[in-house]
Amino acid sequence: MWSTIDLESERVKKVIQIAADNKAYLCPTLATFERQRGDDKVEPYEAKAFENMVKFVGMAHKAGVKIVTGSHTTGKYVDFGWAYQREMELLVQAGMTPMEVIKASTIDNAEYFRTENRLGSIEVGKLADMILIDGDPSQNIKDMYNIDRVMLNGIWVPTADIQAQYQNK
């Protein structure tokens, strides 16, 4: 279906405007549907469909639709456990700035799930779940792969435990 949608049609523009006017959220999970040209296991219509999905997300964002980051554990072009980071990259590819993607992945996601009173930002009284990144993802979203440390419920998780979890999958 996505390969045949005319993204310049008035119907598509109207759908996007209705979503923006109604303050809808869009959780595209692009990494799940990613299909790239040049991959010999991908049909041309699949690559076109994915390109249209990315463009649609960019159009929706530009129109004011709130984009949130969603993912699954895996994707065709990402190692197990890194689909969230790949999703963030694809949102930048769709036209969001790295900082907009970070916001979409934290406080906007918490608002989407109605958990912003306990998640999504660093504030007194909220759960202390966070990651420390080696780099500056606000400038280069690929730095989100450089996880230095993880805190869950206020306790630092030993890095070796995290690495072992991913190596066992």
- Domain extents in the chain: 2-120
Of 3-17, 101-115, 126-140, 151-165, least confident by mean pLDDT is 151-165
pLDDT in tens, 61-98: 999 999 999 888 889 999 988 999 999 999 999 999 99
* Neighbouring residues of 73: CB distance < 8 A, sequence distance ≥ 6: 80, 81, 83
Does the CA dihedral 82-85-60-34 come out positive or negative? negative
pLDDT band at 160 (very low <50, low <70, confident <90, very high): confident
* Mean pLDDT across 142-168: 82
Q: Which CATH superfamily is domain 2-120 in?
A: Metal-dependent hydrolases (3.20.20.140)
Looking at residue 72, what is its pLDDT?
84
pLDDT exceeds cutoff 90 at 159 = no
